Amino acid sequence: MKTVKDINFNNKKVLVRVDFNVPLNDDLEVTDTTRIEAAKPTIHNILEDEGSCILLSHLGRPKNREDKFSLRHIVNTATEILGVQVKFVEDCIGPAAQEAVDNLNPGEILLLENVRYYPEETQGDRGFAEKLASLGDYYVNDAFGTAHREHASTAVIADFFPNDKCFGLLLASEIENVKKVLSDGKSPVTAIIGGAKVSSKITVIENILDTIDHLIIGGGMAFTFIKAMGGNIGGSLVEEDKQDTAMEIMRKAKEKSVQVHLPVDVVAGDSFSEYANTTNEPADNIPEGWLGLDSGPRSNEQFAEIIAKSNTILWNGPVGVFEMEQFAEGTKKLGDAIANATKNGAFSLVGGGDSVAAVKQFGLTHKVSYVSTGGGAMLEMLEGKTLPGIKAILE
Ligand SMILES: Nc1ncnc2c1ncn2[C@@H]1O[C@H](COP(=O)(O)OP(=O)(O)O)[C@@H](O)[C@H]1O
Ligand SMILES: O=C(OP(=O)(O)O)[C@H](O)COP(=O)(O)O
């Protein structure tokens, strides 16, 4: 994998696609800086070579150039984090962008306006990609969170730099960390797949069955499996039409000698609410009118035992409705178990939207081996897909 470390950018203008799609509050302040911090090593590498960085990013999904999606709102935060004044220009192509690039000196950073202000970006328009490409001498992709999109600035643009393109350090590191689990994982390898939707995780489970020893299925997903096996799940979340798929996964897991672990008990609520009355019930015998909303104490212990014996751990998806305090315990205990195993030498990767949010909420970010910066992108990698943003650099 060719990365920014393999190129000397001295006196060059480098287009860096970053994912600065960060959350903003109502006052348009950045509330989570993880993705900006994650781009720092790549940007600093280029600046240390005495090159200059032209940053390309999207923010949200604008339809009509709405001001709330302007990257201007993140300039101060980016300046603070990167330690260098970030210049900004209110367009990403055309004369204004060109003038700002012409005035850029080695060691400087220029952030261009939201590439999604142009519909051509998401359409993967070649002409638009060419206009972006004309601004720089090199193209670096460091936008892991957007690497599953075949857009102008994430994939098509690379065509215009046949010999002058490479991976950023974040993108390279995301790829390497998935490899550490899926190809080079030291056994026993355990995957915890939770969350709400069986349908969105089937391909992930099918793809990882060949490489794992234990599969913990938690969260809302578990009830489709439990019901398919004849359990009573009360009013718990279920995907009725996915019960055959669930049984098929169980069959394949057995064939491949993967041990599947489902919750044996749950914390049930009488409504999907943080004010619900709660009770502990067997996971396969939940009374009518009650919903399983968190894994119960016996399940948490069993999951922790398996995790403690694992050398490689993949966690995708919470095992309960962790956003509500009284259903957060299972996910917190699971996170603690993973942190402990990591302290004892296991490699742990946390990937995919809500589990990353859970890890942050419980203060475990620095107690696991790697936390991915991509939700959808990480899921697609775990499904075994080659992401367009990665393919474009490799080709
Ligand atoms: N037992 C449950 N019943 C209903 N929802 C659940 C349950 N356990 C977890 N969830 C919810 O699942 C959501 C995450 O689901 P999903 O989008 O599939 O996961 P991810 O974003 O990690 O891939 C969380 O908002 C969480 O509250
Ligand atoms: O935040 C992102 O994705 P994620 O929420 O799946 O992590 C990326 O910036 C991609 O954004 P998109 O889903 O609008 O293409």
List the CATH number of the domain containing 273: 3.40.50.1260
The CB density around residue 227, as the number of other CB atoms within 10 Å, is 19
Residue 390: predicted pLDDT: 98
Residue 323 assigned ligand-binding role: yes
**Active-site hit among 72, 180, 197, 385:** 197
Ligand 2 centroid distance, CA of 159 (Å): 23
CA distance 93 to 253: 51
CA distance 364 to 341: 13
Give yes or no: residues 215 and 362 share one domain.
yes
In the listed set 143, 171, 199, which residue is the last one of a domain according to the structure?
A: 171
Q: Are 153 and 392 in contact (CB under 8 A)?
A: no
Give yes or no: residues 240 and 281 share one domain.
yes
Residue 61 assigned ligand-binding role: yes
Question: Does 392 fall in a domain?
Answer: no
Question: Does 123 fall in a domain?
Answer: yes
Residue 352 assigned ligand-binding role: yes
Give yes or no: residues 119 and 258 share one domain.
no
Question: Does 165 fall in a domain?
Answer: yes
Candidate from 17, 19, 21, 114 with most ligand 2 atoms within 8 A of CB, to mutate: 21
Residue bearing tokens 């709660």 = 278
Give yes or no: residues 230 and 373 share one domain.
yes
Bridge partners, residue 213, by sequence: none
In the listed set 148, 171, 194, which residue is the last one of a domain according to the structure?
A: 171
Ligand 2 centroid distance, CA of 375 (Å): 7
Ligand 1 centroid distance, CA of 218 (Å): 9
Residue 354: predicted pLDDT: 85
Give yes or no: residues 131 and 218 share one domain.
no
Give yes or no: residues 100 and 164 share one domain.
yes
pLDDT digits (tens, 9 = 90+) for 351-379: 877 888 899 999 999 999 999 999 999 99
The CB density around residue 217, as the number of other CB atoms within 10 Å, is 27
Residue 352: predicted pLDDT: 77
> Closest by alpha carbon to 229, among 258, 205, 249, 211?
249
- Token reading at 105: 């000196």
- Residue 209 CB contacts under 8 Å (≥ 6 apart), including other chains: 215, 249, 252, 253, 256, 258
Give yes or no: residues 105 and 139 share one domain.
yes
Question: How far is the CA of 24 from the CAs of 20, 149, 323, in angstroms?
Answer: 11, 22, 19
Domain range for 93 is 4-171
- Token reading at 89: 């220009």
Give yes or no: residues 167 and 195 share one domain.
no
pTM of the model: 0.93
Give yes or no: residues 157 and 302 share one domain.
no
Give yes or no: residues 215 and 320 share one domain.
yes
Candidate from 270, 326, 354 with most ligand 1 atoms within 8 A of CB, to mutate: 354
Question: Does 394 fall in a domain?
Answer: no
Residue nearest (by alpha carbon) to ligand 1 atom 14: 195
- Token reading at 116: 């999604």
Residue 326: predicted pLDDT: 96
Question: Does 391 fall in a domain?
Answer: no
CA distance 211 to 206: 10
CA distance 135 to 343: 46
**Active-site hit among 180, 353, 360, 391:** 353
298 is catalytic: no
35 is catalytic: yes
376 is catalytic: yes
Domain count, the chain: 2
Q: Closest ligand to 145 CA? A: 2
Give ipTM to 2 decimals: 0.93
Question: How far is the CA of 286 from the CAs of 24, 43, 248, 282, 327, in angstroms?
Answer: 40, 53, 24, 6, 16
Ligand 2 centroid distance, CA of 373 (Å): 10
Question: Does 132 fall in a domain?
Answer: yes
pLDDT digits (tens, 9 = 90+) for 291-346: 999 999 999 999 999 999 999 999 999 999 999 999 999 999 999 999 999 999 99
Regions of the chain with pLDDT less than 70: none
Residue 164 assigned ligand-binding role: no
Following CA atoms 201, 207, 211, 214 in sequence, which dihedral angle do they give, to the nearest 10 degrees?
Answer: 30
Give yes or no: residues 305 and 366 share one domain.
yes
Give yes or no: residues 155 and 246 share one domain.
no
Nearest-atom index, ligand 2, CA of 379? 6
Judge if the beta carbon of residue 60 lies within 6 A of ligand 1.
no
Residue 9: predicted pLDDT: 98
Question: Does 217 fall in a domain?
Answer: yes
Question: Does 32 fall in a domain?
Answer: yes
Residue 354 assigned ligand-binding role: yes
CA distance 361 to 358: 5
In the listed set 147, 171, 195, which residue is the last one of a domain according to the structure?
A: 171
Candidate from 200, 242, 321, 378 with most ligand 1 atoms within 8 A of CB, to mutate: 321
